[in-house]
Amino acid sequence: MNSNSTILSTKKLSTAQKGLLLNSGIGFVEYNAIEIELLDVDFNRDIKHAIFTSKNAVKAIQNSKFSIQNCFCVGENTKKLLEENGQKVVETAQNASDLGEIISKNYKNGKFYFFCGNLRRDELPLILKEDNIELEEEIVYKTHKRSKKFDRVFDGILFFSPSAIQSYVSNNFIDKSMVFCIGNTTASEAKKYTNNIIVANKPTVENVIVQAVKYFDKRI
């Protein structure tokens, strides 16, 4: 058991997720570095191809009346939520860049609607633009950064989005903390501030925690 290490989670964890840390003897502090505001979606056309890179976008449209024929998404959790809402998922990728490459390679003649947040990353739209694939963006949620100052250095920090990193560093330094990221997009943002980065094998909160537990167990 490693009771000397303390990590910060930039997202409030579920009881089961907290248990993964508590069972390992790692101390932790948690807060929500960002807040998501779902917007009212007033969309009156049926869609053939829709892109979702986060669960927040799925939540924002799940009570809307329009129909979607094919969904393209990032992450297994996003896929699961889409399917739970009766949507057909035809392509899934680990990150937005990979999804953009899949679409560019196999769906050149399609028109796509990208349901996203106000702080969405540029990677996917740029890939599609380079291949002249028609893309219309619909902002369906807003990300608000919640800044908080910590007067300490954590042994590790768990980050689940680029926005959470931006929120954290607005009032804090990453310093010598080991950073654990949910995916490569988040890791790319983290690289602006540190080289001490471990990326989860799967883009899930649980896997980020598992990577932290493994890392600190090795240091006992």
* All structural domains of the chain with their residue ranges: 6-33+148-218, 36-143
Distance CA 162, CA 188 (A): 8
Distance CA 56, CA 37 (A): 9
Q: Are strands 47-52 and 68-74 parallel, antiparallel or unpaired?
A: parallel
Tokens for 208?
A: 């980020």
- C-alpha to C-alpha distances, 27 to 7, 23, 159, nearest whole angstrom: 6, 10, 16
Describe the chain by its helix, strand, coil percentages, rounded to 5: 35, 30, 40
Contact of 85 with 105, CB cutoff 8 Å: no
User: Could you tell me the pLDDT band of residue 43, with boundaries at 50, 70 and 90?
Assistant: confident
Predicted confidence (pLDDT) per residue in 53-70, tens digit: 999 999 999 888 889 999
Whole-structure pTM value? 0.83
Phi, psi for 160 (deg, rounded to 5): -120, 5
What pLDDT does residue 65 have? Answer: 83
Helix axes 15-22, 205-218, angle to 10 degrees: 10
Q: Under CATH, which architecture does the 6-33+148-218 domain have?
A: 3-Layer(aba) Sandwich (3.40)
> Is 50 exceeded by the pLDDT of residue 1?
no
What pLDDT does residue 2 have? Answer: 44
Residues β-bridged to residue 70: 49
2-33 exposure pattern, b = at least 16 Cβ within 10 A, e = fewer:
beebebbbbbebeeebeebbeebebebeeeeb
Predicted confidence (pLDDT) per residue in 15-30, tens digit: 999 999 989 999 999 9
Q: Under CATH, which architecture does the 36-143 domain have?
A: 3-Layer(aba) Sandwich (3.40)
> Is 80 exceeded by the pLDDT of residue 3?
no
Q: Do 6-33+148-218 and 36-143 show the same overall fold?
A: yes
What pLDDT does residue 214 have? Answer: 95
